[in-house]
Amino acid sequence: MTNTSAQEIAAAESGNREFLVFSLGDEEYAIDILKVQEIRGYDNVTRIANAPDFIKGVANLRGVIVPIVDLRIKFRLSSAEYDAQTVVIVVNIAERVVGMVVDRVSDVMTLSGEQIKAAPEFGVGLPLAYIEGLGNLGERMLVLVDIEKLLTSEEMALVDKAEENQQ
Partner 1 sequence: MDITEFYDTFFEEAGELLAEMETHLLELDVDAPDPEQLNAIFRAAHSIKGGAGTFGFEALQRTTHLLENLLDYTRRGELALRRDIVDTFLEAKDMLNDQLEAYRSGSEPDPEALERICQTLQQLALEEIGEVADVNGAAPKPAAVEAVPKPAAGEAGQPQSDGAGGGYRVVFLNVAEKDRQLLIEELGNLGDIKGQSGGAERYEVTLSTSLSADDIEAVMCFIAEPEQLEISPLAQAGAAADTGNAGQATAGTAEEKSSEKVEEKKAASPKTSKPGRSAAAKGAGGGESTSIRVPVTKVDQIINLVGELIITQSMLNQVASEAGDQVHGKLEHGLNLLARTARDLQEAVMSVRMVPMDYVFSRFPRLVRDLAGKLDKEVELVTEGRSTELDKGLTERIIDPLTHLVRNSLDHGIESPERREAAGKPRCGRLTLSATHQGGNILIEVSDDGAGLNRDKILAKARSNGLPVTDNMPDDEVWQLIFAPGFSTAEEVSDVSGRGVGMDVVKRNIQSMGGHVDILSQPGQGTTIRIVLPLTLAILDGMLIRVGDETFILPISGVIESLQPQKEDLYPRTGGDLLLKVREDYLPVVAVHRVMDVRGAVEDPTAAIAVIVQGKGRRYALQVDELVGQQQVVVKNLETNYRRVPGVSAATILGDGSVALILDIADLHRLSQSIKENPIFGAHEAARSRQEAETV
Q: Contact positions toward partner 1, by CB under 8 A?
A: 44, 46-51, 57-60, 62-67, 96-98, 157-160, 163-166
Distance of CA 121 to the CA centre of its chain: 21
Question: In the complex with partner 1, which residue's Cβ is closer, 12 or 94?
Answer: 94
Q: Give the nearest distance from C-beta 123 to partner 1 in angstroms.
A: 29
Q: Give the nearest distance from C-beta 71 to partner 1 in angstroms.
A: 16
Question: In the complex with partner 1, which residue's Cβ is closer, 118 or 162?
Answer: 162
Question: In the complex with partner 1, which residue's Cβ is closer, 107 or 160?
Answer: 160
Question: In the complex with partner 1, which residue's Cβ is closer, 84 or 162?
Answer: 162
What distance in Å separates the CA atoms of residue 158 and residue 161, rounded to the nearest whole number? 9
Q: Give the nearest distance from C-beta 147 to partner 1 in angstroms.
A: 15
How many Cβ atoms sit within 10 Å of the Cβ of residue 2? Answer: 6
Q: Give the nearest distance from C-beta 51 to partner 1 in angstroms.
A: 7
Listed in sequence order, the residues at least 6 apart from 22 whose beta carbon sits closer than 8 Å to its beta carbon are 28, 29, 30, 31, 87, 89, 102, 103, 104, 105, 106
Q: Nearest to residue 30, comparing CAs of 110, 129, 142?
A: 142
